[in-house]
Amino acid sequence: MTTQNAQAHEAHGFRRKMVGRVVSAKMQKTVVVEVVSHTRDPLYGKYVRSRVRYKAHDDKGTYKAGDQVEIQEHRPISKDKHFIVTRLIKKFVEE
pLDDT score, position 73: 95
Neighbours of 22 (CB within 10 A): 22
Q: Per-residue pLDDT for the chain (95 aa), expressed as one digit of tens each?
A: 565 555 555 666 789 999 999 999 999 999 999 999 999 999 999 999 999 999 999 999 999 999 999 999 999 999 999 999 999 999 998 87
pLDDT score, position 84: 97
pLDDT score, position 4: 58
The architecture CATH gives domain 15-90: Beta Barrel (2.40)
Q: Where exactly are the structural domains of the chain?
A: 15-90
